[in-house]
Amino acid sequence: MAETAQWTPRSAWAGIAQPGTFGAAGRGGVTATLLEGHGLASLIAAPGGAEALARRVEQSLGLALPTAPRIVSGAGHDVIWSGPDQWLLRARSRGEMPSLIAELARYAAVSDQSDARAALRLSGPHLRDALAKGVMIDLHPAAFAVGDAAATSVAHLGVQLWRLPDAAEGPAFEIMVARSLAGSFWSWFAASAAEFGCRVVAGRG
Amino acid sequence: MSAQPFRLASGGLIDRSQALSFRFDGKSYGGHAGDTLASALLANGVRLVGRSFKYHRPRGILSAGPEEPNALVELRSGARREPNTRATVAELFDGLEAVSQNRWPSLAFDLLSLNGLFSPALVAGFYYKTFMWPASFWEKLYEPLIRRAAGLGRAAGAEDPDHYEKAFAFCDLLVIGGGPAGLAAALAAGRTGARVILCDEDFRLGGRLLAEKREIDGRPVAEWLAAALAELESLPDVRLMPRTTVFGLYDHGTYGAVERVSDHLPQPQPHQPRQRAWRIQAKRAILAAGALERPIVFPGNDTPGVMLAGAARTYANRYGVLPGRETVLFTAGDDGWATARDIAAAGGKVAAIVDARADADPARKALADRLGARLFAGGVVERARGGRQLDQVTIRDASGATHALACDLLAVSNGWNPTLHLTSHQNGKPVWDEEIHCFVPGTLPAGLAVAGSAAGRFTLATALEDGARLAREALGDLGLSVAAAGPVPAADDEPCGLKPLWRVTGGKGPVFPGKAFVDFQNDVTDADVELAAREGFRPVEHLKRYTTLGMATDQGKTSNLSGLAIMAEQTGRTIPQAGTTTFRPPYTPVAIGALGGHHRGKAFRPVRLAPTHGWSSEQGAVFVETGQWLRAQYYPKPGETDWLATVNREVLAVRETVGICDVSTLGKIDIQGADAAAFLERVYINGWKALPVGKARYGLMLREDGFVMDDGTTSRLGEHHFLMTTTTANAGKVMQHLEFCHQVLWPDLDVGMVSVSEQWAQVTVAGPKARKTLRGVVDPEHDLSNEAFPYLAARAVTVGGGIPARLFRISFSGELAYELAVPAGYGDAMMRALMQAGAPFGITPYGTEALGVLRIEKGHVAGNELSGQTTARDLGLGKMMSSKKDYVGRLMANRAALNEPERPSFVGFKPVDRRERLRAGAHFIGVGKAATMANDEGYMTSVAHSPHLNHWIGLGLIRGGSARIGEQVRAYDPVRGGDILVEICSPVFLDPEGARLHG
């Protein structure tokens, strides 16, 4: 019977990455936080419906939907531009996703993507050096401002990434990759960050 | 370790306090930090370093840079052995091991040097003339023989143990070359705050400043250089990249570069790559790559001890090595004289200066006198001799009299060729400059400017001016302020008069006339070029291919122009009339490993893992690559050694009790909007408007050309909400197709689509006990009875006490079957819950092999049949083509050729002798007919062993199709030697009424 089975969710990083350190010892050039527990949904506005959706998101979440490749963040949610009239909505708490999806479904095609991505927060003094080994766009502060977002490819796989305000230890970015490709992404990331020394910690998205 | 008899007591940019030990051909030598392998060998008096490609002639060190054609060695040993390494750019490290190439049995005594005696047979084009017949001898006899005799170094033959990586960089200004022009450019740009990258292939920045005794801004160059580098290092947005060769120029300001991160170390430091391939995106670039000195073609010009004059002075000034004790200078211009001066200053004796120019400039005469050198104005060196080491040159003076002079170094200077290679990479043709006797850059690629020697402006002062000026222009072009660019560094102009001398002829030879080499690395002589001219291979491209001139790893850096000049002379034309030298990437050889970077072995391409992958691994599954996905192929049990036994067990379990199989890899596309149903009507051939909410339907879509694109089930989850599934292989293609249809064909439709393939873990539960198994997993409030949840029902349910899930009653196996989907994070838990719930029935996980057998038994089409060459009618699905609506591919599918009754169409096959094995790919031939293309009637697309029927069954396409059921044909399989009789039958081998499905 169902009640005897353990319905424990498995992290997208399970068996791939775990807290600890790797690479050059004592350098701490990069910190990778494995993000868990967030909710995620894709929003696609109906033709001509973007304004209505934006008003609704503003009312409900207090966030202005960006109209360019940017992330707009609030206390509990972020909205990330992912294409013309398309966004990702992230909620810190996964529990509210069903009601959020039901509410916004009147204004947009909303699809739950909470399990579809493996997510990392990355920071550190050598983060840009590590990312430069695969990210094919310019992440220099003058070219990629805090809050800028991009859909691009890294090591032959698609990613979405955006820049957070600088952290104490250096620049900070978040990056999302298709769940099935988390292992291949990590293979590239670990090889690329190793020379700078990398600390891996568990965290909440 | 021996002493370094040719090392100067002081001077140069080597660190005498840091002694390094290295081995060459098994013998130990000493050198210093800052040496190259070439400079260290010269310091030790080693002159003979290799044998030539074709004639196995003794060869020494010609140059001090990347153009080196002779001094090629195998560096390192074992798996790190690297052939054809230029000793002139190999940075010395402690413990370096190098071995000379292309000699047998030893460098000093080479049996194959006898090739030189038979050289009349080895002239240009000898491959084409000699090894013509019989053709079958080529592969087995001629080629292996030639490969052994002619060739360069040996590849390691073992996997490279080092890591390589790629990297991407961006800048306002890329400066290529760290000599005076490049430094002046980087300083001017860097000071303004612009983003600057400066690359230089050398391990030390400075270019010619490292080898010249000059002044800049009134200071010795070394002092100026140190200050310039310190300033550049202090600028946060300037990146200095020594050991980095910009090897290619590509579209839109993209440059390829390779950084030799660890080549100067015995092996890379932990976590460091051996090399890093950069892709640099530059808004503007300045090519300041300097120039390469040109040799003169004369008999014996390849004798070890004959060296380019600029190289000789580099060894003296930069490396503190006396390149020869008795030097003769043979020059066609002013620049060579600096070598005579610097060698004398380093303590070497300059025995003679042979200046091919007839005019006797009094200043030059005075300098020769001061150096104590005999001056032969208007003279030439007509022969160099000495075999393994130069010991004598024959000088012909202006009057024609000859003089034999003993010497151990002949420094040769014939002017310089601008290193303009990158300007040709986008097909730009260099142009001949009659004033300075060299090719200079022609039409430049967008965004690139050329400074200093690379532009043919050879003096130090112009290099500095060019760099500073072009950097200002580039930044101005970008709209950046140049107010802070600072002053232009100043230097005196040096004389650079030149009257080039391409070759020396007319010498009275002994029995064997001495060979005069044009291309040292490929052993192309002036006689070869003359032969090419006589035989009509006159256009420069023909010359190259006929003689192999310029085709070696150095790509003719020291030879192309000499060859062109001789061809011009032979054909009575000028050099520009004879042709131009153009270049393609890479500028110098780039290791394949660097281009591959991280992506080799298991990381060759991304691998996608299903949400149940971990569980399947625990079960000991064997995986198969299907596109990027790794899918469980079958789950062997202990004792099962034959995959077929495993698959038979899995198939029977599904038919008899229940099995589960991951189908998460199928594409899943969420389609929502008021026009979602209308959209599906247009992309599928069958109808969707009438599909009730909560129901699934099989759909088939065509390409615009009328052939089948993909199939799958699509479920209506809400009035305006559908979930489409695609085959695993076509998931990306279908998504792209739908996006195209919406964005381009019907942008007015209110429909949005997004892939949810990654969101859901989906598992097939198939078999008579499927419902009972699911009952133990799906929360009890959901009624799963046949009445409440009939065939093709598709609804949201919950599992595990409220976890959202979706249940679809669809079947690929023909059994009572469901697909259960949960958020991907619960995929692992779902597998375990199903295994637990199905345990009482002997639930069996099955893989893609059993999945295939089950569908073949039911005659369902899959990837093998959806080959892109089949129509809906070919596959027996023509009845699905709606006549009540329009859809993608409808018109083209009605083309006459696609509707001929004779088109091969879909049926089943079984062997007449039931013990025979069927083979996919076998072609059908009529009984008694010859196996010819004309008699080909179609082919077998899929086969399986049916454990249910206990014989092999097949699906395929054959002319006439189902009208021929009952006929026998040959299944002809020449690849595997098969030729058996098969019977045409219905493609449905099991339960044609579908009773099991509705159970």
Return the DSSP state at B918. Answer: P
Of B165, B168, B826, Cβ closest to residue A191: B165
Q: So what's the pLDDT on residue B816?
A: 97
Do residue A102 and residue A121 come from a single domain? no
Range of the domain at A176: 20-36+116-204
Do residue A90 and residue A139 come from a single domain? no
For residue B586, say if its preceding peptide bond is cis, omega within 30 degrees of 0.
Answer: yes
Q: Minimal CA–CA distance to B850: which of B648, B994, B616?
A: B648
Name the burial class of residue B962, with classes exposed (0-12), middle (13-18) and buried (19+) by CB atoms within 10 angstroms of its CB: middle
Task: Tell me the chain B residues in contact with residue A2 when contact means C-beta distances shorter than 8 Å.
Answer: 776-780, 799-801, 833, 837
pLDDT tens column, B775-787: 999 999 999 999 9
What would the mean pLDDT of B600-624 be, rounded to a whole number? 96
pLDDT tens column, B279-329: 999 999 999 999 999 999 999 999 999 999 999 999 999 999 999 999 999
**CB–CB contact B823 A115 (8 Å):** yes
Q: Which residue of B has its CA nearest to A5?
A: B833
Task: Tell me the chain A residues in contact with residue B610 when contact means C-beta distances shorter than 8 Å.
Answer: 180
**CB–CB contact B279 A136 (8 Å):** yes
**CB–CB contact B279 A23 (8 Å):** no
Chain B segment 721-760 residues within 8 A of A by beta carbon are 747-754, 756-760
B101 falls in which pLDDT band (50, 70, 90)? Answer: confident
Task: Tell me the chain B residues in contact with residue A135 when contact means C-beta distances shorter than 8 Å.
Answer: 168
**Nearest chain A CA: its distance from B373 CA (Å):** 56
Do residue A30 and residue A45 come from a single domain? no
Of B603, B672, B836, Cβ closest to residue A187: B603
Specify the CATH number for the domain of residue A64. Answer: 3.30.70.1520
Of B165, B168, B799, Cβ closest to residue A2: B799
pLDDT tens column, B383-434: 999 989 999 999 999 999 999 999 999 999 999 999 999 999 999 999 999 9
Do residue A32 and residue A43 come from a single domain? no
pLDDT tens column, B451-464: 999 999 999 999 99
C-alpha B292/C-alpha B38 separation (Å) is 17
Task: Tell me the chain A residues in contact with residue B670 when contact means C-beta distances shorter than 8 Å.
Answer: 109, 111
B224 to B34, B421, B462: CA distances (angstroms):
19, 29, 17
What would the mean pLDDT of B694-717 be, rounded to a whole number? 98
Do residue A197 and residue A120 come from a single domain? yes
- Indicate the average pLDDT of chain A: 95
Q: Could you tell me which residues come within 8 angstroms of residue B53 by beta carbon, excluding any fewer than 6 positions away?
A: B102, B150, B151, B152, B521, B522, B523, B552
Task: Tell me the chain B residues in contact with residue A140 when contact means C-beta distances shorter than 8 Å.
Answer: 170, 195
Do residue A32 and residue A63 come from a single domain? no
Q: Which residue of A has its CA nearest to B675?
A: A46
What would the mean pLDDT of B961-967 be, rounded to a whole number? 96
Q: What is the CB-side half-sphere exposure of residue B977 using CA atoms within 13 A?
A: 0
Q: Which residues pair with B281 in a beta bridge?
A: B170, B254
DSSP letters for B122-134 = GSTTHHHHHS-S-
Of A8, A15, A98, Cβ closest to residue B829: A8
C-alpha B867/C-alpha B848 separation (Å) is 19
**Amino acid residing at B275:** Q
Q: Could you tell me which residues come within 8 angstroms of residue B709 by beta carbon, excluding any fewer than 6 positions away?
A: B701, B702, B703, B730, B733, B734, B737, B866, B889
**Nearest chain A CA: its distance from B269 CA (Å):** 9
| Diameter of chain B measured on Cα atoms | 116
What would the mean pLDDT of B624-649 be, rounded to a whole number? 95
- Indicate the average pLDDT of chain B: 94
Q: Are A68 and A56 in contact (CB under 8 A)?
A: no
B62 to B23, B40, B358, B519: CA distances (angstroms):
21, 14, 26, 12
Residue B119, pLDDT above cutoff 80: no
Q: Is residue A174 part of a domain?
A: yes
Whether B293 and chain A come into contact, CB under 8 Å, resolves to: no
Q: Is residue A83 part of a domain?
A: yes
Q: Which percentage of chain B shows pLDDT scores above 70?
A: 95
C-alpha B785/C-alpha B796 separation (Å) is 15
**CB–CB contact B168 A140 (8 Å):** no
Task: Tell me the chain A residues in contact with residue B736 when contact means C-beta distances shorter than 8 Å.
Answer: none
Name the burial class of residue A3, with classes exposed (0-12), middle (13-18) and buried (19+) by CB atoms within 10 angstroms of its CB: exposed
Q: Which residue of B has its CA nearest to A116?
A: B759
- In the listed set A112, A145, A166, which residue is the last one of a domain according to the structure? A112
The two tokens of residue A90 are 């992230």
Q: Minimal CA–CA distance to B20: which of B8, B35, B6?
A: B35
Q: Is residue A127 part of a domain?
A: yes
Name the burial class of residue B534, with classes exposed (0-12), middle (13-18) and buried (19+) by CB atoms within 10 angstroms of its CB: exposed
C-alpha A186/C-alpha A17 separation (Å) is 7
Q: So what's the pLDDT on residue A2?
A: 41
Q: So what's the pLDDT on residue B217?
A: 96
What would the mean pLDDT of B435-449 be, rounded to a whole number? 97
- B738-745 long-range contacts (CB < 8 A, ≥24 apart) are B738/B669, B738/B671, B738/B683, B741/B679, B741/B682, B741/B683, B741/B888, B742/B679
Return the DSSP state at B591. Answer: -
Q: So what's the pLDDT on residue B161?
A: 95
pLDDT tens column, B851-901: 999 999 999 999 999 999 999 999 999 999 999 999 999 999 999 999 998
**Nearest chain B CA: its distance from A132 CA (Å):** 5
Return the DSSP state at B741. Answer: I
Do residue A93 and residue A128 come from a single domain? no
Instruction: Order across the sheet with B659-662: list the strands.
Output: B794-799, B803-808, B817-823, B760-766, B659-662, B844-845
- In the listed set A57, A78, A112, which residue is the last one of a domain according to the structure? A112
Number of domains in chain A: 2
pLDDT tens column, B368-378: 999 999 999 99
Q: So what's the pLDDT on residue B155?
A: 85
**CB–CB contact B598 A155 (8 Å):** yes
B557 to A141, B520, B561: CA distances (angstroms):
41, 10, 8
Chain B segment 362-381 residues within 8 A of A by beta carbon are none
Burial B882-911 (b: 16+ CB within 10 A, else e): eeeeebbbbeebeeeebeeeebbbbbbbbb
Q: Is residue A72 part of a domain?
A: yes
pLDDT tens column, B266-289: 999 999 999 999 999 999 999 999
- What sign for the dihedral angle of Cα B423, B428, B429, B433? negative
What would the mean pLDDT of B209-236 be, rounded to a whole number? 96
pLDDT tens column, A61-94: 999 999 999 999 999 999 999 999 999 999 999 9
Please tell me the total number of residues recorded for chain B in this structure: 999
Of A42, A138, A156, Cβ closest to residue B170: A138
**Nearest chain A CA: its distance from B609 CA (Å):** 5
What is the ipTM metric for this complex? Answer: 0.97
Residue B748, pLDDT above cutoff 80: yes
Predicted TM-score (pTM) of the model is 0.94
Task: Tell me the chain B residues in contact with residue A110 when contact means C-beta distances shorter than 8 Å.
Answer: 672
Do residue A127 and residue A171 come from a single domain? yes
pLDDT tens column, B688-699: 999 999 999 999
Size of interface A-B (CB pairs under 8 A): 171
Do residue A78 and residue A156 come from a single domain? no
Task: Tell me the chain A residues in contact with residue B279 when contact means C-beta distances shorter than 8 Å.
Answer: 136
Q: So what's the pLDDT on residue A3?
A: 46
Which runs of E-coded beta strand occur in B734-882?
752-755, 760-766, 794-799, 803-808, 817-823, 844-845
Whether B618 and chain A come into contact, CB under 8 Å, resolves to: no
Task: Tell me the chain A residues in contact with residue B256 when contact means C-beta distances shorter than 8 Å.
Answer: none
pLDDT tens column, B201-210: 999 999 999 9
Of B670, B672, B824, Cβ closest to residue A179: B824
Whether B158 and chain A come into contact, CB under 8 Å, resolves to: no
What would the mean pLDDT of A162-168 be, rounded to a whole number? 97
The two tokens of residue B610 are 């299903």
A6 falls in which pLDDT band (50, 70, 90)? Answer: confident
**Nearest chain A CA: its distance from B388 CA (Å):** 46
Task: Tell me the chain B residues in contact with residue A194 when contact means C-beta distances shorter than 8 Å.
Answer: 271
Q: Which residue of A has its CA nearest to B832?
A: A5
**CB–CB contact A140 B195 (8 Å):** yes
Chain B segment 778-807 residues within 8 A of A by beta carbon are 778-780, 799-801, 803-804
B842 falls in which pLDDT band (50, 70, 90)? Answer: very high
A59 to A55, A56, A64, A88, A104: CA distances (angstroms):
6, 5, 9, 17, 11
C-alpha B39/C-alpha B321 separation (Å) is 7
Do residue A94 and residue A43 come from a single domain? yes
Do residue A120 and residue A32 come from a single domain? yes
Q: Is residue A68 part of a domain?
A: yes
Q: Is residue A98 part of a domain?
A: yes
Residue B509, pLDDT above cutoff 60: no
Strands B374-377 and B380-385: unpaired
Q: Which residue of B has its CA nearest to A84?
A: B743
Q: So what's the pLDDT on residue B152?
A: 73
Whether B828 and chain A come into contact, CB under 8 Å, resolves to: yes
Interface test with B, best of A111, A157, A160 (most B CBs within 10 A): A111
Q: Is residue A10 part of a domain?
A: no
A1 falls in which pLDDT band (50, 70, 90)? Answer: very low
Q: Minimal CA–CA distance to A188: which of A148, A155, A139?
A: A155
Chain B segment 26-65 residues within 8 A of A by beta carbon are none
Of B609, B748, B754, Cβ closest to residue A44: B754
Q: So what's the pLDDT on residue A28?
A: 87
Q: Is residue A1 part of a domain?
A: no
Strands B409-413 and B326-331: parallel
Q: Which percentage of chain B shows pLDDT scores above 90?
A: 89
C-alpha B477/C-alpha B448 separation (Å) is 12
- In the listed set A52, A79, A112, which residue is the last one of a domain according to the structure? A112
Specify the CATH number for the domain of residue A120. Answer: 3.30.1360.120
Distance between first and last Cα of chain B: 88
**CB–CB contact B758 A117 (8 Å):** yes
Do residue A25 and residue A125 come from a single domain? yes
Of B605, B759, B828, Cβ closest to residue A10: B828
Residue B141, pLDDT above cutoff 90: no
Whether B270 and chain A come into contact, CB under 8 Å, resolves to: yes
- Cβ atoms < 10 Å from Cβ of B9: 8
